[in-house]
């Protein structure tokens, strides 16, 4: 047992987001002492969340800027795609964006809370289409852990009996939110076109759990949630872990290296105190990396030694490789049927109540669909709080212009494609040999290129988005674009995974199915880096579930060794 600042601990966890927070909860409940290191600042969601501030009270009516990508009120305060003093580089002629949250709780403070689980095909993609690799586990192995995790997190939704939306166990899900008017119109269009549309699984409480209150539909989840209705580690697993007395959290701790001892075991890490630039070394019996896929890869690649000249636990050469993000593209339209309807609070659970899951596995299998991995369509619309662009399409002035704005308010609708990319040798990160951040730590250099698989998928999604808008009697208002023009940059969806992927073969993977690195048996990865593929479904619930499963096994192993 090691000691830091008067606290005895057995395990170091680097990162406090989904994987780190859940791991801390499971381990501390099992009586294991944990030191958690977070690179960003401390954050109190109860005191700091501007839940009821209105757009007109903020600069630029709360619109996004280069310093605050998702708007003035977004929960991420010190992070974004651009972090002062913390650059990254991108290969010439290529495009990639890397989001860093830099705060306690990481991305869980502002993510969309969409939590669809993967299905059996998602875990075995190679077996179905011959592309990429299979995971070293299957859906049946993960299924009971999904149930446990969804129950703990508090997931609202239903079991629609659709293959792309696997059922949860009886009594696991909370009631789903009722569809809004514009979603009912989309539902009618889906019925016409033969598409499925179902309630979105959301990590948002519709019924209270303990001290976490049910959502009262009054503010956007991206601001953070001071009442704990929208899941984030800062209002759940981290406070619970602290309550055991077995967790110490150190913020502003920029970890720069994982150390090895003479026996080839991880012995601890060195971090930089961001406030005074002091280098501090801490030791532990077990080191867990959960800093997010790319940050964990960076830390491992920078942790070089005689045994691992290319980075710790990287004998396979796969650390930093197999980088994946979700595909993204958007199409919008104007729906005359929604014009001039009575105004009312249509906030609901911020984001989708209904969405369109992937529906054409048969077409992929018989070749009529020209790409192998699916996507889903998320729906945007309704009476959101007006921003800067509400009157952008109105000519003239005076009463007529004002009435036009009122009539058009809430009459536009958008579909966001979020799809799966196929793992590619063209997409990876490595250490830039020439650039360091303000802490003196070498930075990542990204390489990225979409393949025809993703471009064909994007074309398909835009085509169906247009069909849906027209089926609602609407007109497409977004410009006509090629797939190359429409697809968003790598990293822009903030679902990057795969850089330390799991597998059955130490020669082609970094960890086994438990997140344990093949090369260093007491070094674990418990973030999205372990993903062997990146299904079109948002990744957070699977990160949480795997962290729960793998930390439970680790806790059992450590307690057996101690007894």
Please list, in sequence order, all residues whose beta carbon lies within 8 angstroms of the beta carbon of residue 253, skipping any fewer than 6 positions away. Answer: 37, 38, 39, 271, 272, 273, 274, 280
Measured CA to CA, the distance from residue 301 to residue 279 in angstroms comes to: 19
Assign 73 a pLDDT band (cuts: 50, 70, 90): confident
Query: Which pLDDT value is given to residue 414?
Result: 97
395-418 burial, b if ≥16 CB within 10 A, otherwise e?
eeeeeeeeebeeebbbbbbbbbbb
Token representation of residue 71: 């708007």
Measured CA to CA, the distance from residue 541 to residue 203 in angstroms comes to: 9
Residues 266, 25 contacting (CB under 8 angstroms): no
Measured CA to CA, the distance from residue 9 to residue 25 in angstroms comes to: 14
Please list, in sequence order, all residues whose beta carbon lies within 8 angstroms of the beta carbon of residue 389, skipping any fewer than 6 positions away. Answer: none
Query: Which pLDDT value is given to residue 535?
Result: 98
Residues 10, 281 contacting (CB under 8 angstroms): no
Please tell me which residue, 63 or 193, carries the higher pLDDT value.
193
Measured CA to CA, the distance from residue 367 to residue 477 in angstroms comes to: 31
Measured CA to CA, the distance from residue 163 to residue 310 in angstroms comes to: 42
Residues 236, 228 contacting (CB under 8 angstroms): yes
pLDDT digits (tens, 9 = 90+) for 452-483: 999 999 999 999 999 999 999 999 999 999 99
Judged against a pLDDT cut of 90, whether residue 202 lies above it is answered with: yes
Residues 392, 405 contacting (CB under 8 angstroms): no
Q: Which run of H or of E encompasses 35? A: strand 34-37
Assign 409 a pLDDT band (cuts: 50, 70, 90): confident
Please tell me which residue, 62 or 332, carries the higher pLDDT value.
332
193-202 burial, b if ≥16 CB within 10 A, otherwise e?
eebbbbbbbb
* 326 dihedral zone (left: phi>0; alpha: psi -120 to 50; beta): beta
pLDDT digits (tens, 9 = 90+) for 40-57: 999 999 999 888 888 888
Assign 499 a pLDDT band (cuts: 50, 70, 90): very high
Judged against a pLDDT cut of 80, whether residue 392 lies above it is answered with: no
Average pLDDT, stretch 499-522?
98
Measured CA to CA, the distance from residue 557 to residue 543 in angstroms comes to: 21
Please tell me which residue, 204 or 59, carries the higher pLDDT value.
204
| Helices marked H in 335-450 | 361-366, 398-408
Query: Which pLDDT value is given to residue 114?
Result: 97
Query: Which pLDDT value is given to residue 343?
Result: 87
Judged against a pLDDT cut of 80, whether residue 388 lies above it is answered with: no
Q: How far apart are the first and last CA of the chain?
A: 14
Query: Which pLDDT value is given to residue 390?
Result: 59
Give the angle 495-500-505 at the CA atoms, nearest 5°: 130
Token representation of residue 343: 């105004």
Task: Give the count of alpha carbons within 13 A of 236, CB side only.
Answer: 32
pLDDT digits (tens, 9 = 90+) for 240-261: 999 999 999 999 999 999 999 9
**For 21, phi and psi rounded to 5 degrees?**
-65, -45
Judged against a pLDDT cut of 90, whether residue 69 lies above it is answered with: no
| Helices marked H in 513-539 | none
Average pLDDT, stretch 154-169?
98
Q: Which run of H or of E encompasses 296? A: helix 293-302
Please list, in sequence order, all residues whose beta carbon lies within 8 angstroms of the beta carbon of residue 476, skipping any fewer than 6 positions away. Answer: 331, 332, 333, 466, 469, 470
**Minimal CA–CA distance to 524: which of 109, 31, 15, 118?**
15
**Minimal CA–CA distance to 460: which of 381, 371, 338?**
371
Mean pLDDT across the chain: 95
pTM of the entire structure? 0.97
Q: For the chain, what is the total number of helices (H) and then of strands (E)?
A: 13, 19
Query: Which pLDDT value is given to residue 400?
Result: 80
Average pLDDT, stretch 163-177?
97
Strand bridging mode 375-381 / 247-250: unpaired
Token representation of residue 552: 């439970």
Token representation of residue 347: 């906030």
């Amino acid at each position: 047992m090691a000691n830091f600042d008067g606290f005895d601990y057995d395990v170091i966890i680097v990162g406090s987001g989904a994987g780190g927070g859940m791991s801390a909860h499971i381990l501390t409940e099992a009586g294991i002492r944990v030191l958690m290191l977070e690179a960003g600042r401390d954050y109190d969601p109860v005191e700091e969340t501007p839940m009821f501030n209105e757009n007109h009270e903020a600069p630029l009516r709360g619109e996004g800027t280069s310093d605050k990508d998702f708007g003035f009120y977004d929960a991420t305060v010190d992070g974004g795609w651009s972090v002062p003093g913390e650059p990254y580089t991108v290969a010439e002629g290529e495009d990639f964006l890397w989001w860093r949250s830099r705060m306690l709780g990481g991305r869980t403070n502002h993510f969309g809370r969409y939590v669809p689980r993967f299905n059996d095909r998602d875990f075995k993609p190679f077996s179905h289409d011959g592309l990429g690799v299979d995971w070293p586990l299957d859906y049946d192995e993960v299924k009971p852990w999904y149930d446990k995790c969804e129950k703990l997190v508090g997931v609202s939704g239903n079991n629609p009996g659709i293959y792309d939306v696997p059922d949860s166990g009886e009594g696991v899900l909370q009631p789903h939110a009722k569809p809004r008017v514009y979603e009912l119109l989309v539902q009618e269009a889906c019925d016409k076109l033969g598409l499925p549309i179902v309630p979105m699984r959301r990590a948002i409480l519709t019924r209270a759990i303990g001290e976490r209150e049910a959502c009262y539909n009054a503010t956007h989840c991206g601001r953070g949630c001071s009442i704990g209705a929208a899941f984030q580690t800062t209002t759940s697993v981290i406070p619970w872990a602290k309550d055991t007395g077995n967790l110490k959290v150190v913020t502003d701790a920029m970890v720069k290296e994982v150390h090895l001892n003479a026996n080839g075991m991880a012995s601890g890490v060195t971090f930089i105190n961001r406030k005074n630039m002091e280098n501090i070394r801490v030791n532990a019996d077990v080191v867990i990396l959960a800093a997010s896929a790319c940050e964990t890869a960076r830390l491992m690649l920078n942790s070089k030694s005689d045994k691992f000249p290319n980075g710790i636990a990287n004998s396979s050469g796969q650390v930093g490789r197999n980088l994946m993000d979700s595909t993204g593209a958007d199409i919008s339209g104007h729906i005359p049927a929604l014009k001039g309807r009575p105004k009312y609070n249509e906030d609901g659970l911020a984001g989708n109540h209904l969405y369109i899951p992937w529906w054409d596995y048969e077409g992929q299998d018989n070749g009529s669909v020209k790409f192998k991995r699916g996507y889903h369509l998320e729906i945007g619309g309704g009476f959101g709080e007006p921003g800067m662009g509400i009157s952008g399409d109105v000519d003239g002035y005076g009463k007529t212009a004002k009435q036009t704005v009122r009539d058009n308010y809430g009459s536009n609708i958008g579909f966001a494609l979020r799809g799966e990319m196929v793992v590619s040798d063209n997409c990876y990160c490595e250490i830039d040999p020439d650039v360091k951040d303000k802490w003196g730590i070498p930075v990542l250099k990204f390489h990225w290129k979409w393949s025809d698989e993703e471009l064909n998928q994007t074309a398909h999604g835009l085509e169906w988005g247009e069909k849906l808008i027209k089926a609602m009697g609407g007109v497409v208002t977004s410009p006509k674009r090629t797939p190359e023009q429409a697809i968003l940059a790598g990293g822009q969806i903030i679902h990057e995974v795969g850089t330390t992927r799991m597998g059955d073969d130490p020669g082609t993977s970094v960890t086994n199915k438990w997140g344990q690195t093949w090369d260093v048996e007491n070094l674990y990865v418990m973030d999205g880096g372990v993903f062997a593929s990146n299904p079109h479904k948002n990744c957070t619930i699977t990160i949480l579930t795997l962290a729960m499963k793998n930390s439970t096994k680790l806790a059992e192993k450590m307690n057996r060794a101690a007894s």
